[in-house]
Chains A and B, each alone.
Chain A
Amino acid sequence: MSDVFNWQLGREMSYPYDESHPDWQFAFVFNINRCIACQTCTMACKSTWTFSKGQEFMWWNNVESKPYGGYPRNWDVKLLGMLEKANPDEQIWDTFSKGPEKPFGVFEGKTIFEAADKDPSARAPKRALGYLPTDEEWQNPNIHEETASGKTMKEGEWGRSAQLPEHDIWFFYLQRLCNHCSYPACLAACPRKAIYKRKEDGIVLIDQKRCRGYRKCVEACPYKKPMYRPTTRVSEKCIGCYPRIEGKDPELSPNREPLETRCMSSCVGKIRMQGLLPVKDGKWEAAPDHPLYYLIQERKIALPLYPQFGTQANGYYIPPRWVPQPHLEQMFGPGVANALVQYSCPDRELLSVLQLFRSTQQIIYKFKIEKGPKLAEIERTLPSGQKKVQEIYNDTVIGYNKFGKEVVRATTEQPSFERTKEHLNSI
């Protein structure tokens, strides 16, 4: 085991390999407040990468209802339980020691790597605390929400064939894919070294030729994102749509402009933004005019999912404003209160950056804001349910691609145009 620095935990932690970092890191921000659970992202991934035999239960991108639900079923509750058992009452954060290197304070508990030797079921030493989900747990990605049921119909019979079940107890949707972690547990656990993290973008891939289907990655990944394919007898996972990241789509990026992935580009609710962050000496290079750096590091309104697992995941979430804080803190760490207050009533700069979500398919590397006149004052609802007045300015945010070319320009306000009925479909 080596000691590596995990900024999300504010401390060094044990990891089976030495510290090593890519030149750029794939990362994304999801604004949970806007997700309408349409599953367009899920289908965009499925119809691109996992539509073949043996991949029927594979959803590299999934959107699950919280607090219950999950794909595989109860993955997070199970792992949190295992960690608690391994280190009872000690999974805590010291939030007093906040500083520039440790924005959330210091996590004093044990990560999945540090608790690996505490697994009573282990027959041989493990690299990370984890478990192998059963087939049934993989089968219903959103049980009682999208699992249709009904009567089988005879040939030629029509009518009440399939229904969606109904339930009342739910309160938000969590969008998930592989986090292309800085300290991947899947990679750490693979006995064949078949998993690698690409130098050029930090995307984590499974080499299909080297993999022998031992499923150690499936067991070790705390987010349960590698999946076993019985037809090929090897494991597969999200590939970060790397051909798009490399700008290899001849139609959409004729000049090799990097494009956001399929699941990001297709988001109906405009909740997703993805990009690449420059890494230097193991850290993200300070880039306050990079939209992801701005949201994650400058403003700290986008937070890592279960940072206590210890993989330094690169998926970040703007937490939902209507959910009780203790629940969110377990999920996103101690940064929740600050994120909620800032996001609930965004200032003019933040509001402008938020307009960049889903404004273009190209990856934005830099933004600039041009100031405009004040438009209005509006009332916003704070997490407590209280109201606060927000000032709105008609600023323009401009996004630039990898080559410094302007690719998008979004202003806060614009007159709206309605098409007449007869021209509804005209371009």
Chain B
Amino acid sequence: MTDAVLKIENLQTYYGKSHILHGVSMEVAEGEIVTLLGRNGAGKTTTLRSLSGLTPPREGRIEIFGNDTTRWPAYRIARLGVGYVPEGRRIFPNLTVLENLAVPMTRPGPWTVDKVLELFPNLGTRRDSWGRQLSGGEQEMLAIARALLVNPKLLLLDEPSQGLAPLLVREVFRVVASMREQGISILLVEQNARFGLEVADRVYVLNDGQMIHSGPARELAKDEERVRALAGVGGKEDGVLTAKPKTSAA
């Protein structure tokens, strides 16, 4: 892959004294959707935090769109064209929907407040509601909309389906898949392995802060046993490999 939008090499990331990532390397090519799977506590969120500048790695190298961003502050990485939809959405509860959408520093590009409200009509009808009043699904839409306003070329999504009803999960993944047509490359962290593998081109599996698998998503999607062994996702329900339950409700 020559046209990598994201390239990370040998990341060693710590929270204080605890060593979390032990030499993580991966790549995302332009226009690609890459899914990162792994058990609870495997280091998926930490990987995203490392490359978005929130928890810079102590060692290793991060290259985004050809820039060495390893030591950049988060806001400069975002301004390069990196959208981040954090775990748990982290909507600003004390701000209205429209105010939430006023926070991002908008880079020039196709996404405007009107456009994202077109994409998520539900948000439009709730534009003056407080963030804390939104349902889990609405919060997820708002978190994606907010990240889109940065007009990203690379979008990082941390468990967007977490805690959502199946219908909403489908909606979220429809939107994620449609981002590709907008020329946005995507790095997706998921516990919902079925959806995660369905939309992705390639997949990485992280365990205990180390990559234990990488390959085409299609291959792994056919082999549920293997997925379970690698990513440790729970039992089967209606053919869906389900994730562990998390706190926030749909």
Q: Do A and B bind each other?
A: no
